[in-house]
Amino acid sequence: MRWFTIYIALIFLAALPARSEEVVVGLSQNRVSLTVNYEGSEILIFGAVRRESPLPDDSALDIVVTIEGPPTSAVIWRKARRAGIWVNTESQEMRAAPSFYTVASTAPLSEILSPDADLTHRISTRLAIFEARGSDPRDAAAFTEAMIRIRQSESLYQELDGAVSLQRDTLFNTRVILPKNIVEGIYTARILLLRDGEVIDEAETFIDVQKAVLERWLYNMAYDYPPLYGLLALSLAVFFGWGASALFRFVRS
Amino acid sequence: MQIYLPIAETSVNAFTLLGVGGGVGVLSGMFGVGGGFLITPLLFFIGVPPAVAVATGVNQVVASSISGVLAHLKRKTVDLRMGTVLLIGGLVGSIIGIWFFNLMQRLGQLDLIVQLSYVLFLGIIGALMLQESLRALRRSKNPNAPRRKLHTHNWVHNLPWKMKFRASGLYISVVPPLLVGVGVGILAAIMGVGGGFILVPAMIYLLGMPTKVVIGTSLFQVTFVAAFTTMMHAVTNHSVDVMLAVFLILGGVIGAQVGTRIGLRLKAEQLRILLALLVLAVCGKIALDLLLTPSELYSITIPGRF
């Protein structure tokens, strides 16, 4: 029985096309530090396609680059007018949605990616978001679209059709802006090689986004030692509030 | 120059922040108001999440009132007994307010509650200020106009649990000051204000305290309630942003010094009308945000973030 399984597996492996094209990738930086004056940063993603066999001339090569920030659950609220004012009335939970998501590609996704491949690799923004189970699918779609729309307006989700430049079917590069409002965590960059709508190779690399030392320290203290953090906030207030007026009194006299 | 706020997890312009702190500081120095009721809504307008704006605003109140309370304590213009009664009420109110604040945050209605409270209170203060300053203006033109009687014997004096407040020369029930304290504490927790704008008129008109101890005693209560509320926010929902507070406080203390100088030189009555109009404008802006159809009906909240 075991031998039979291995035999079957081998047949399938042999049936798969040999990986004739492979992607190698580099990043201009794999650490981003959210310092006091962080205003966003630009990441250059570049690489090359390595191939053992001659270039197939019957199909076009396309490249998709995605960058995904740490996912969180989220609640999307919808406002409605109640007694004359606009109030949050309905909500929909998202099980997991990336805090940041960019899809850059050599051409519009609809032209280069088959729906099946999109589903397996979860490439388009819509598929990167996992809705909560048991929600009314028609309504859920409106909430998911709203989430994408809001995050796009904050540059947290970006769809950059044609932003990847591919030279002589070998060298490629693209630039992605990490805006000022990103959260910290490990960001995953995926680079996918596409032919005839299918993914033929995939590479992953990571960007570590961290708050800088002071910000990290303050954040950790606020969550791990809240009483201490509260006392820090109060002593700063007392110090500056009392100190400044003492200083002004001293200057005046 | 942008600065990254570690708790709000967003960047804002440092000069805008210093400007907000400084501008409100100038106004507070000129008119002797705390300014919390202007700082917090201005923070909403520049994109600070309401929860962070409220908790940080209340921290800023501590900074803007600490030196005043020290000066009044030195001059002995604080009725410590009355201050303590008001403070006890304030602490209870703060706890109630924090509980309500956290409940509304869980229900996703916090922004609405904060905005509604602002519309209501800014509307009331703005209208009262405008009325008061118009009346003062009329009085300065016509000195024979009838003045309002300051101290009247009203229902407050018929309640039980009377107590002697020597510094204020009062023998009244502790119930009204306790209730006033509770109200101010609730406002501090939900709106991120000191509450002087409620406390001072309540002390004068409701409790009948002499004006010489009113400011000192109200600063005494406001400082401690604000400090307590800051701690409560820090401990229960981690929404105090120290980085934001430092910029607001720096702008605020410098602005207050400038404002005090300006206030000494200028005639306050006409300016008070401008302050009243400013308060009404901020109130109107928040009200419009609630009344007009928003351009985006949806919003995102992330559990555990602001």
| A247 vs B234, residue with greater confidence | B234
Chain B: residue nearest A218 by CA? B6
Chain B: give the shortest CA distance to residue A107, in Å.
Answer: 30
Tell whether B2 is covered by a domain.
no
d(CA A245, CA A240): 8
pLDDT given at position B157:
67
Two tokens at B273?
């009308």
Predicted local distance difference test score (pLDDT) of residue A71: 92
Q: What pLDDT sits at residue B52?
A: 93
Domain presence at residue B91: yes
Note whether residue B67 is domain-resident: yes
Q: Do A229 and B243 touch (CB under 8 A)?
A: no
- As a whole number of angstroms, the distance between CA A199 and CA A193 comes to 6
* Closest chain A residue by Cα to residue B238: A222
Which whole number is the average pLDDT over A118-138?
Answer: 80
| Chain A interface disruption, residue of B15, B67, B110, most A CBs within 10 A | B67
Does residue B96 sit within a domain? yes
Task: Write down the domain spans for chain A.
Answer: 22-211, 213-253
Confidence check: pLDDT of B141 > 90: no
Statement: residue B272 has pLDDT above 70: yes
Largest CA distance in chain B: 61
Phi (first) and psi of residue A235, to 5 degrees: -70, -35
List pLDDT tens digits, range B19-75: 999 988 888 887 777 788 889 999 988 888 889 999 999 999 999 888 888 888 888
Q: What is the mean pLDDT of chain A?
A: 85
Give the Cα separation of B142 and B155 in Å (integer). 33
Query: B134 in a domain, yes or no?
Result: yes
Q: What is the tens place of the pLDDT at every residue in B236-257?
A: 989 999 999 999 998 988 888 8
Q: Is A74 on the interface with B (CB under 8 A)?
A: yes
pLDDT of B172-212, one tens digit each?
888 899 999 999 999 999 998 888 888 888 888 888 888 88
A137 lies within 8 A of chain B by CB: no
**From the list B66, B238, B299, which residue is nearest A242 (CB)?**
B66
The pLDDT > 90 percentage for chain B reads 33
> Distance from B282 to chain A by nearest Cα, in Å?
17
Tally of domains within chain B? 1
**pLDDT grade, residue A175 (50/70/90)?**
very high
| Domain-embedded: residue B300 | no
Residue identified by tokens 């001072």 is B200
HSE of B70, CA atoms in CB hemisphere, 13 A: 13
A220 touches chain B (CB under 8 A): no
Burial of B73 (0-12, 13-18, 19+ CB in 10 A): middle
Residue B220: the pLDDT is: 92
The whole-angstrom separation of Cα B283 and Cα B239 is: 24
Q: What percentage of chain A carries pLDDT values higher than 70?
A: 90
CB contact under 8 A, B253 and A245: yes
Question: Do residue A77 and residue B230 have CB atoms under 8 angstroms apart?
Answer: no
Gap between the Cα atoms of A90 and B271, Å rounded: 45
Most confident of A58-62, B197-201, B225-229: B225-229
The set of residues, in sequence order, having a beta carbon less than 8 Å from that of B300 and lying 6+ positions away, is A74, A75, A76, A77, A147, A150, A151
Q: Tell which CATH architecture fits domain A22-211.
A: Sandwich (2.60)
Is B7 part of a structural domain of the chain?
Answer: no
Domain extent, residue B180, equals 13-143+155-291
* B299 lies in some domain: no
B244, closest residue in chain A (CA to CA): A233
Measured CA to CA, the distance from residue B70 to residue B73 in angstroms comes to: 5
pLDDT of residue B264: 77
pLDDT digits (tens, 9 = 90+) for A105-118: 998 988 888 888 88
Q: Find the closest chain B residue to A85 by CA distance.
A: B291
Lowest model confidence (mean pLDDT) among A27-36, A75-84, A211-220, B264-273: B264-273
Q: Hey, of A33, A87, A88, A89, which one would you mutate to test binding to chain B, going by the most B CBs within 10 A of its CB?
A: A88
Q: Do B62 and A234 touch (CB under 8 A)?
A: yes
**pLDDT over 80 at A133, yes or no:** no
